[in-house]
């Protein structure tokens, strides 16, 4: 198969690494890719927003499958543009990707179809928004309607914080047009987990669950980021809970989208809160999680390519999911630039990657890296995802942090507690 992978982050490096291991692959290109992806694919000088360029390349090079990693091009309709040219695409079209692109659309869809989620309302007017916060009481959550790189959800412990968040979005427009309309919702208590299902438009199967660590500092302190680390599997999302999530959340959501003319071909990411009343949706995303994808790919035993192709071709998917069944666990620790998720500098030299990958079970996925005069340098907020597999979670964690200790760049910071709560619970049993 001739495959084109679209994207340039840690998620796409993990996908490239996994795809390249498939005996089915004859050629793998990445657009635009990154220095890590370049080890597995030929990187192309094409940007994510260049739908014509990407479609032209894919048709001109007899590409059998296009895999779109990030949400931005999906929400903008890249999959539609590619499908119009007869290409097989892994990734939903714009109408289905709106499940991530517009929180108001996603929440309204859930409300219309009785899919469990936090109570909410949508606002463009700050006065009405503040009134609703008083009705809900604190804590509550203020979210930008549009995409804000994982930073558009503001958890407010007090009404004063909620007022400030409303001002930030609606009055000062700090998120631009993404925050011109906001969703305000009740705060849900419980364990959070990310669940991934594959949908081909004709069938849907569960893929895997992982847990992300959203805040920048240990013990869930500090502002939210794109994700500072992840692990899989998640005990609370065992097979029985996954079956319940499929029945109560994933299947009705896909049916609802199809009924509204937006059949879904790709991976549906359900961000869940496992509350006392059962699983509820925090948010939907139209692509793999980053860094959840890194741990899911690292742990997956079977070939990913036939699954991606079946989704893209709109085939019926295999009913059982043997590909996720390995006894192992996987952990990813994100190494971030000094200052992230606020302002940070780039172009800083990175050392120690080979030494880190010498630790058994460790792969280092590139998220925000670049080359400067041949040297590997930082080029983003999240720079690397040090990922490790092991026979259990404790082994995977030890290996990942052994890898982390060997890597250095000026200003580098990371969480030291990835999977710690899960490990504590495992020890307590
Ligand atoms: P989102 O961008 O919607 O995924 O929100 C980012 C993070 O904010 C989530 O991963 C949760 O940790 C937190 N969050 C968002 N909405 C809620 C909610 N209704 N209740 C509790 N926590 C929430
Ligand atoms: N790790 C969270 C996300 O990909 O949205």
Burial (CB count <10 Å: 0-12, 13-18, 19+), residue 192: middle
191-313 matches 119-186 in CATH topology: no
**Could you state, in chain order, the average pLDDT of each consecutive group of 10 residues for the chain (429 residues)?**
98 98 98 98 97 98 98 97 98 97 92 95 89 92 83 89 90 84 93 96 94 95 92 93 96 95 96 97 97 96 94 89 69 98 96 98 98 96 97 96 98 98 81
Q: Which residues line ligand 1 (CB under 6 A)?
A: 118, 141, 143, 153, 155, 185, 187-188, 192, 214, 224, 271, 282-283
Whole-number Å distance, alpha carbon 149 to ligand 1 midpoint, is 13
329-428 has which fold?
3.90.600
pLDDT in tens, 129-175: 999 999 999 899 999 888 877 678 889 999 999 999 998 888 888 88
Whole-number Å distance, alpha carbon 113 to ligand 1 midpoint, is 21
Q: What CATH number does the domain located at 119-186 have?
A: 3.30.1490.20
What's residue 175's pLDDT?
86
Q: Which CATH class is domain 191-313?
A: alpha beta
Q: Which CATH class is domain 2-93?
A: alpha beta
Among all bound ligands, the one having the nearest atom to the CA of 178 is 1
Q: Each residue of 148-164: b (16+ CB within 10 Å) or e?
A: bebbbbbbbeebebbbe
Q: Where are the domains of the chain?
A: 2-93, 119-186, 191-313, 329-428
Does the reported pTM lie above 0.85?
Answer: yes
What's residue 321's pLDDT?
62
What's residue 319's pLDDT?
74
Among all bound ligands, the one having the nearest atom to the CA of 227 is 2
What's residue 153's pLDDT?
87
């Amino acid at each position: 198969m001739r495959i084109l992978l679209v994207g340039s982050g840690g998620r796409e490096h993990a996908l490239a690494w996994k795809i390249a291991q498939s005996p089915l692959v004859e050629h793998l290109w990445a657009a635009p890719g990154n220095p890590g992806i370049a080890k597995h694919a030929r990187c192309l000088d094409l940007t994510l927003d260049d739908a014509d360029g990407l479609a032209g390349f894919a048709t001109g090079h007899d590409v059998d499958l296009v895999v779109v990693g990030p949400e931005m091009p999906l929400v903008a309709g890249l999959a539609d543009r590619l499908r119009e040219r007869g290409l097989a695409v892994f990734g939903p079209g714009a109408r289905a990707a709106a499940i991530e692109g517009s929180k108001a659309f996603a929440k309204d869809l859930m409300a219309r179809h009785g899919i469990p989620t936090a109570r909410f309302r949508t606002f463009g007017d700050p006065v009405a928004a503040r009134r609703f916060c008083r009705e809900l009481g604190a804590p509550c959550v203020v979210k930008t309607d549009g995409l804000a790189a994982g930073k558009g959800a503001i958890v407010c412990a007090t009404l004063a914080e909620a007022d400030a968040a409303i001002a930030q979005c609606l009055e000062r427009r700090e998120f631009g047009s993404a925050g011109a309309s906001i969703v305000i919702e009740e705060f849900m208590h419980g364990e959070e987990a990310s669940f991934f299902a594959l949908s081909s438009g004709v069938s849907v199967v569960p893929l895997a669950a992982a847990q992300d660590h959203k805040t920048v500092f240990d013990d869930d302190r500090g502002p939210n980021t794109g994700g500072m680390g992840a692990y899989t599997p998640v005990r609370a999302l065992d097979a029985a809970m996954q079956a319940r999530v499929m029945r109560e959340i994933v299947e009705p959501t896909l049916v609802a989208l199809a009924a509204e003319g937006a059949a879904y071909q790709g991976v549906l990411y359900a961000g869940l809160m496992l509350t006392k009343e059962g699983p509820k949706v925090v948010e939907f995303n139209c692509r793999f999680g980053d860094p959840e994808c890194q741990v899911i790919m690292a742990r997956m035993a079977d070939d990913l390519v036939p699954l991606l192709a079946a989704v893209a071709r709109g085939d019926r998917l295999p009913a059982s999911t043997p590909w996720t069944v390995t006894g192992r666990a996987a952990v990813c620790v994100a190494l971030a630039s000094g200052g992230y998720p606020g302002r940070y500098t780039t172009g800083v030299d990175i050392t120690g990657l080979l030494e880190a990958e010498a630790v058994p079970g460790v792969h280092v996925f590139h998220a925000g890296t670049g080359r400067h005069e041949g040297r590997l340098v930082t080029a983003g907020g999240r720079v690397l995802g040090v990922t490790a597999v092991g026979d259990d979670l404790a082994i995977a964690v030890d290996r990942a942090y052994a890898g982390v200790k060997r890597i250095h760049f000026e200003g580098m910071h990371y969480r030291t507690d990835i999977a710690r709560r899960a490990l504590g619970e495992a020890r307590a049993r």
